[in-house]
Amino acid sequence: MSHPEDEPVAISSLLGVDARSFIHLPSTEERMRALLLQVGTFNRALLMNGWWCERLVLKNFSWAPASLSNVLWPGPDTDLRMATCTEEGAFGEFSIVHFTPVLLGINYGVVVVMDESNESGIVSTAKPGTGGTSLTKLGLCQIFRLMLSPYLFRLHDVQTLVINAILLTHSVCAQKLDGGGVAAVVANIPDGDAPSARSHVDTPLHCRFVTIGSATDRMPDVAETMHSRNYWVHVAGHEIVSGKVRIT
C-alpha cells in the first residue's frame, strides 16, 4: 500500500537524489524538506505555483510544497533563473512589488496601482553580477489585480494573516501580467522611500511566504466583482526590480 510520505522517495531518483539518505525520516514534511535540500537548486516557478497545494509547516520552509505532483504550471517555462534551497530558506532574484499591509480573510482580492508619486517614478534595479544598482523611470501608471489561492481560506488563522508584497519572475513594466503565479509574502521592507533603502543588493530581502496568488493586468471585471470576490482592497505599489530575496 502506498502512503503520502512515499512521494519524495518515489521521485528522488528522477531528481538525482539517493533516497537512502532520508528514507528513515518519519514524516512527509521532513522527507520533502530533505529532498529539496539535496536537490539544491530548482526553477523559481516552484515558489509561485500550486493553486491548491498544501505547503510545509516547517521553519524556513513555508514556501515549499508538501507534494511536487500538485505544483503545476501551464506550457513550457522559459525562465532559466533558478532558486537555491538551504537550511535558511530559498534564495533567488525576483521583482518585488510592495504595498501597505493587507489583512486577508476580509479582503479576497487586491488591486495594485503602481505609484509614481514617490521618487518621481524611479525604481531601483539591481544589476546582476555587478553589485551595483541602476535607476529606471517607470512608464505610464499601471494597474493590476491580485487574486489569492482559495486554499488559503481553508486555514484556521486566515483572519489574522497579512501580506505586504508579491514576488514575480519579471518586472511589471517589462511584461504583461496575464494571470501567472506570484508568491504573496510579508517582506521586511526598511523604512524610507529612497531607492538606496530598498535596493538590497548585498543583503537579500527577507520575505515570509504566505500563499500563492495570480496577477493580471487591469481592474477586475464585473463578473469577478459580483460573483468571485466580495471585497477588493486598493493599494499603491512600489517595485524593486531583480532584487535578491530570501524566502522562508
Q: Are residues 117 and 212 in the same domain?
A: yes
Q: Are residues 69 and 130 in the same domain?
A: no
Reported as a single tens digit per residue, the pLDDT across 198-229 is: 454 578 999 999 999 988 888 776 555 555 55
Reported as a single tens digit per residue, the pLDDT across 122-157 is: 444 444 444 443 334 444 568 888 988 878 877 777
Q: Are residues 107 and 197 in the same domain?
A: yes
Mean pLDDT for the stretch of residues 182-195: 76
Q: How confident is the model at residue 72 (pLDDT cuts 50, 70, 90)?
A: low
Identify the residue with better confidence: 169 or 74.
Answer: 169
Q: Give CA–CA dist 230/201, Å, rounded.
A: 39
User: Can you give the pLDDT at residue 230?
Assistant: 59
Reported as a single tens digit per residue, the pLDDT across 16-25 is: 888 888 888 8
User: Can you give the pLDDT at residue 89?
Assistant: 96
Q: Are residues 242 and 128 in the same domain?
A: yes
Cα dihedral value 125, 126, 130, 131, nearest 10: 130
Transcribe 85-97 into DSSP letters.
EETTEEEEEEEEE
Q: Are residues 126 and 189 in the same domain?
A: yes
Q: Are residues 109 and 149 in the same domain?
A: yes
Among 29, 63, 89, give the residue marking a domain's end: 89
Residues 6+ apart with CB under 8 A from 238: 97, 98, 99, 114, 115, 118, 123, 193, 198
Of 33-47, 73-87, 94-108, the range with the highest mean pLDDT is 33-47
Find out whether 176 and 214 touch, Cβ atoms under 8 Å.
no
Q: Are residues 211 and 97 in the same domain?
A: yes
Instruction: Cite the beta strand spans of the chain per DSSP E.
Output: 41-43, 82-86, 89-103, 109-114, 122-126, 133-137, 143-148, 162-168, 178-187, 205-217, 232-247
User: Can you give the pLDDT at residue 131?
Assistant: 42
Q: Are residues 71 and 122 in the same domain?
A: no
Question: Residue 8 pLDDT > 90, yes or no?
Answer: no
Cell triple for 161: 494573516
User: Can you give the pLDDT at residue 59?
Assistant: 95
DSSP state of 83: E
User: Can you give the pLDDT at residue 74?
Assistant: 54
CA 29 → CA 15, 36, 38, 54, 124, distances in Å? Answer: 18, 11, 14, 11, 37
Q: Are residues 154 and 176 in the same domain?
A: yes
DSSP state of 158: G
Q: Determine the structural domain holding residue 174 and report its residue range.
A: 92-247
Question: Residue 1 pLDDT > 50, yes or no?
Answer: no
Reported as a single tens digit per residue, the pLDDT across 99-119 is: 999 988 766 688 898 876 544
Q: How confident is the model at residue 79 (pLDDT cuts 50, 70, 90)?
A: low
Q: Are residues 149 and 172 in the same domain?
A: yes
Among 58, 89, 120, give the residue marking a domain's end: 89
Instruction: Domain count for the chain, please give it.
Output: 2
Identify the residue with better confidence: 103 or 158.
Answer: 103
Among 61, 89, 117, give the residue marking a domain's end: 89
User: Can you give the pLDDT at residue 200?
Assistant: 46
Q: Are residues 41 and 140 in the same domain?
A: no
Q: Are residues 99 and 84 in the same domain?
A: no
